[in-house]
Structure 1
Amino acid sequence: MEAKGTKLLLLIGTAWLFDALDVALLSFIMPVIKESWHLTGSQLGAVSAVTSLGMMIGALGCGYLADKWGRKPVMIMTLLLFSFGNLLLTIAPNVTWFIIIRLLTGIGLGGELPVAATIIADHFTGTRRARMLVLVDSFWAFGWIIASLLAFLVMPVLGWRLTVLLTALMGLYALLMRRHLPTSSAERSSNKRAFWPALRQVWSPEYRRATACLSILWFVIMFAYYGMFLWLPSVLVLRGFSMVHGFGYTVLMSLAQLPGYYLAAWLLGKVPRKAVLTAYLLGTMISAAAFGLATNTTMILISGAWLSFFTLGAWGIMIAFTPGQFAADARGMGMGFAQSIGRIGATIGPFLVGALMGMGLGISAIFMMFVGALILGVVVLLVGLHDQDR
């Protein structure tokens, strides 16, 4: 990869790194604020849900603005929102303000990823575009690892407020780096239409099928990912596996993602994208079923690592697959709309798991529900989408 491609990979990769860092760190902070602020289960659920709501708003709104104002200014704006939100979070006096600020932060985070993917799609084509998109998505794993280091090594010493402050400062550093983002031809001739005409464009006969199928796929993948991974610690504790609280387990689950990304990036140059994504979704199904049926530590570790490998790899392939379904003038809105529907799945998944567990449904049955959702995703992919690259 030449210097220009490497520079853009590092600059854009910060979007995924900070998104993962924030999501992971929030999962470590929530038990702390639950205890210190004496929160109820519904209040804690609201903290998680409002972040997903903000991400949904950000994905749709910033995707549209990236087509209208250009990719670079919107990308910088999303990081400013993230950094400013985390600065405010350090002085949140109670859970009400915490929830309000998390909505603001979520808008910045949700807006980042579709815009970041659009920038990569504007600058590369074909196999190189697909590989670059998977590689920038791999920065998600590094975000989780950094969050784990902060949670286990820094937060016990400095507390959650100063730990969040560190993430805000890292965001400002990345903002300085993004001053060097290039401007694409698509950005220079950006779409000046109002929101509703732009939304109608991605639902026009030209894009309607792709928009509908991609929205379903993003819903399924985010529903499965957030539903399974946010509940993994609780599921393991319920089954008596206390090792989930350890730093080593958390890092293992993060490291298992990296070969999944890198294998996907290599395969995208050898095998059609639909075939690679289908294989990864099938791998996610098998791993989810194995994890749901696991009865000992060895099975938990192996199936959990494979689940991380395939689920995050599938996410990366979807990042590579989506932008090519839209022409440059509709790419930001198309990517943003599909991911905003995905964020609905990210909200429903964890809540549904909690509700079903409360009703007495077993862990195995719950994980089979995710298998069923993934089967739907495979059918939509194979029947509804073409492997194209606009």
Structure 2
Amino acid sequence: MRAVLADLGQVSRGQWQAMVVAMLGYSLDAMDFLLYALVLPLIATEFHLLPATAGFLSSVVFLSAALGGYVFGFLADRIGRSRTLIVTVLLYSVGTAGAAFSRDWVQLLLARLVLGLGMGGEWGPGMTLVLEKWPARLRSTASAVVQSAWAIGYVFAVVAALLIVPHWGWRGLFLFGIVPAVIVGIARLRLVEPEVWQQARTAATRFGPRQVFSPPYLRHTVLMSLAMIFGFATYNGIAIWLPTYLTGPLSRGGAAQTQAQVSFLLLLFNVVGIAGFLGFALLADRLGRRRLYALWAALAALGVLPYALAHGEAAWLVLGVVLLGFGTSFFGAYGAATAELYPTEMRASALGFTFNTGRLIGGQAPVLFGVLAVTMGLGPASLIALPAALLSGICFVFLPERRGVELASVGRPAGLTAAR
């Protein structure tokens, strides 16, 4: 702990600035996206949505997020990380505003498609910017702290919902999501590109996005994509339906909790998640990413049982929510582990592709949960998250451990030709 604090004391102002701006953007992504989950029962009632349709509106954002991740990851490798981030913050702000003014589920669908483009394009350039600026000895710390912004954004969303929905409804809640985006957009105008990217840009060779699928990178790309697919299936299958499951009647596989109990459990889920990210940050740079990821994934799998089979018992729900919140913070490993596997010229493309492929495929889990919930209830349907969490941990274990490597030294192997 003291060693980490001593290292943090040597971090420069520019490095802190990059982290804060990336965290703000990612937390706003989480807040804007998860606002939908928090008001899903209200939207479903107003638009007369079936569970499968409501789940589809949740999952469709991952379709556009994948496209955004692919396009803006490639763009960040070409025009720079900070410039790309300005575009993404504008996109997800427009998507949030569109959701507020939607008059039917089709308009809401279109708004969420725009939101997904910005959300998918946000993460890769933002994480790459931070990891290329921060020192190697603190790379996992930086990765986990930035990733914790998702849980922070969820907490903000819960608090905002409690304060705004009773007075202005779910549309007012979406409008609120636009305001902080203006602050983030202004802050990003002052960001400076990482030195390692500027040096790579002047190099004689150039990489193309297709080389993410060339040996020796193909194996890394496949394994990391699978780890993210199963990881997102675990998290989204639980998180998207969490408010609906907690408020649902016992006769339909719900937990029959009061609104106060639901608010407490939602906050607990994300506060514990923040603690999980910070715990990962303190340990990963010293113990390695693979073992910790596997341990965190096992905790998430363990938490599925008391959560899904609680039958309204508060103690079991609390235990399940704590284990799931802590365990699903395994995403804290992803940024640093991936950045250390790819050269600078394709790093943002690799981060954007693997992370958003996970979103694209794993993001369809809420649809499956919704379909199964029709016949068995959301509680039993949530058991699907158990094998998904275990498979995510297994895939991650087979990746190489490269903690501490200097990103500038992750070079192009012999025989790999530059893209034309």
Q: TM-score under structure 1 normalisation? A: 0.91
SS in 2 for 1:325: coil
Distance in 2 (alpha carbons) for counterparts of 1:28 and 1:378: 28
Per the alignment, residue 301 of structure 1 pairs with 318
1:96 equivalenced with 2:96 (yes/no) = no
Per the alignment, residue 337 of structure 2 pairs with 321
Distance in 1 (alpha carbons) for counterparts of 2:390 and 2:56: 30
Structure 1 residues 12-69: Cα deviation after superposition (integer angstroms, max 9, x where no partner):
1012211110122111233223222333445423321221211111111111111111
SS in 2 for 1:246: helix
Distance in 2 (alpha carbons) for counterparts of 1:156 and 1:363: 27
Shift of 1:190: 6.2
Determine which of 250, 269, 289 is the counterpart of 1:273: 289
**Is this contact kept in 1: 2:51–2:370, CA < 8 A?**
no
CA gap 1:243/1:308 in 2 versus in 1, 3 angstroms: farther
Per the alignment, residue 387 of structure 2 pairs with 372
CA gap 1:310/1:61 in 2 versus in 1, 3 angstroms: same
**Is this contact kept in 2: 1:71–1:115, CA < 8 A?**
yes
Q: Which letter does structure 1 place at the counterpart of 2:348?
A: G
Q: TM-score under structure 2 normalisation? A: 0.85
Q: Which letter does structure 1 place at the counterpart of 2:392?
A: G
Shift of 1:125: 4.1
Shift of 1:231: 2.4
CA gap 1:285/1:44 in 2 versus in 1, 3 angstroms: closer
Task: Map residues 232-311 of structure 1 onto 2, 5 A cutoff.
Answer: 232-236=242-246, 237=248, 238-243=253-258, 246-295=262-311, 296-311=313-328
Per the alignment, residue 383 of structure 1 pairs with 398
Task: Map residues 222-237 of structure 1 onto 2, 5 A cutoff.
Answer: 222-236=232-246, 237=248
Q: Name which of structure 1's ranges 287-296 and 211-220 shifts more when overlaid on structure 2.
A: 287-296
Distance in 1 (alpha carbons) for counterparts of 2:293 and 2:85: 27
Distance in 2 (alpha carbons) for counterparts of 1:63 and 1:219: 18
Distance in 1 (alpha carbons) for counterparts of 2:239 and 2:33: 11
Structure 1 residues 149-177: Cα deviation after superposition (integer angstroms, max 9, x where no partner):
11111122122223222211210111011
Q: Provide the aligned C-alpha RMSD in A.
A: 2.2
**Is this contact kept in 2: 1:81–1:108, CA < 8 A?**
yes
Task: Map residues 98-247 of structure 1 onto 2, 5 A cutoff.
Answer: 98-188=108-198, 198-236=208-246, 237=248, 238-243=253-258, 246-247=262-263
Distance in 2 (alpha carbons) for counterparts of 1:66 and 1:372: 35
**Is this contact kept in 2: 1:69–1:190, CA < 8 A?**
no
Structure 1 residues 265-315: Cα deviation after superposition (integer angstroms, max 9, x where no partner):
00013211111111111111222233234352112112211210111x201
1:79 equivalenced with 2:89 (yes/no) = yes
**Is this contact kept in 2: 1:68–1:190, CA < 8 A?**
no
**Is this contact kept in 1: 2:307–2:379, CA < 8 A?**
no
* Aligned-residue identity in percent: 23
Distance in 1 (alpha carbons) for counterparts of 2:109 and 2:201: 34
**Is this contact kept in 2: 1:241–1:297, CA < 8 A?**
no
Shift of 1:373: 2.3
CA gap 1:201/1:125 in 2 versus in 1, 3 angstroms: farther
CA gap 1:163/1:353 in 2 versus in 1, 3 angstroms: closer
Structure 1 residues 294-342: Cα deviation after superposition (integer angstroms, max 9, x where no partner):
352112112211210111x201122332221111111011111101210
Shift of 1:108: 0.3
Per the alignment, residue 342 of structure 1 pairs with 358
Structure 1 residues 91-116: Cα deviation after superposition (integer angstroms, max 9, x where no partner):
32332222112101110011101111
Shift of 1:363: 3.9
Structure 1 residues 120-165: Cα deviation after superposition (integer angstroms, max 9, x where no partner):
1211242312111111111212211111111111122122223222
What stretches of structure 1 of length at least 5 have no aligned partner? none
Shift of 1:255: 1.1
**Is this contact kept in 1: 2:34–2:240, CA < 8 A?**
no
